[in-house]
């Protein structure tokens, strides 16, 4: 049975490894994060919107990031809402479509239906190989939308994206921990680009 010291050490190790992952993101991903924020800001300026898709923990990240844009990142800075939609939230559509046609097309169908040229799709996949996210990216390309990927090391998605923010890790937990931090940074930078009072 684990002793209290072993449990404490395990918790500490997780925090240190997570911090080390974020340190690598700070060293290797700043340019792609800034480029993504500028692209999103330009789209919002033109009246377009942001769509987000992913599975599991990445689905939760989509909802979290969309909420930050649509509501506000902090109560200290009140600003107009920004049009962001998580494609992971409509349970009636998700269950109907996946029941009738399979799970792989659930995001692509929404991109085809809701997306317009100039919109941006953020696809989140820790593996970089989520089939339904890949199909959504392909649908976005056909619809003249721009694409941003939040991934970990490896997979197909980074090479498919206009901008890939690739967390230098293969640990799903640490990649997800970095992704939500990146989401907060994107929202903050977009606010800075769009609002003089920020």
The alpha-helical segments, DSSP class H, found in the chain are 4-28, 30-45, 57-70, 91-101, 106-114, 131-142, 157-160, 172-194
Encoded tokens for 93: 């559509």
Tens of pLDDT, residue by residue over 42-61, are 999 999 999 999 999 999 99
CATH number at residue 12: 3.40.50.10490
pLDDT for the residue numbered 1: 54
Give the count of domains, the chain. 1
Read off the tokens for 179: 């992704």
Report the Cα 31 to chain-centroid distance in Å. 16
Task: Give residue 117's pLDDT.
Answer: 98
Looking up tokens 């700070």 gives 26
**pTM of the prediction?**
0.95
- pLDDT tens-digit profile of 96-129? 999 999 999 999 999 999 999 999 999 999 999 9
The pLDDT, as a whole number, for residue 198 is: 65
Q: What are phi and psi for residue 52, nearest 5 degrees?
A: -135, 140
Checking 68-75 for CB contacts under 8 A at 24+ apart, the result is 68/183, 68/184, 68/187, 69/187, 69/190, 73/184, 73/187, 73/188, 73/191
pLDDT value of position 197: 64
Q: Give the structural domain span for 48.
A: 4-194
Cα–Cα distance, 184 to 85 (Å, whole number): 16
Q: Give the CA angle between residues 144, 147, 150 to the nearest 5°.
A: 170
Task: Compute the average pLDDT of residues 134-159.
Answer: 97
pLDDT in tens, 8-23: 999 999 999 999 999 9
Contacts of 1 (CB under 8 A, 6+ apart): none
């Amino acid at each position: 049975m684990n002793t209290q010291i072993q449990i404490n050490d395990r918790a500490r190790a997780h925090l240190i490894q997570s911090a080390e992952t974020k340190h690598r993101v700070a060293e290797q991903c700043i340019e792609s994060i800034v480029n993504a924020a500028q692209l999103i800001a330009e789209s919002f300026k033109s009246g377009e919107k942001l769509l987000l898709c992913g599975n599991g923990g990445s689905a939760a990240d989509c909802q979290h990031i969309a909420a930050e844009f649509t509501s506000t990142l902090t109560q200290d800075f009140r600003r107009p809402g920004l049009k962001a939609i998580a494609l992971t939230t409509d349970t009636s559509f998700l269950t109907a479509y996946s029941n009738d046609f399979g799970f792989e097309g659930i995001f692509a169908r929404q991109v085809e239906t809701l997306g317009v040229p100039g919109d941006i799709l953020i696809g989140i996949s820790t593996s970089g190989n989520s089939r339904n996210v890949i199909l959504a990216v392909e649908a976005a390309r056909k619809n003249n939308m721009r694409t941003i990927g939040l991934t970990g090391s490896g997979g197909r998605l980074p090479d498919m994206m206009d901008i890939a923010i690739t967390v230098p890790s293969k640990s799903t937990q640490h990649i997800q921990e970095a992704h939500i931090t990146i989401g907060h940074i994107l929202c903050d930078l977009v606010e800075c680009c769009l609002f003089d009072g920020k």
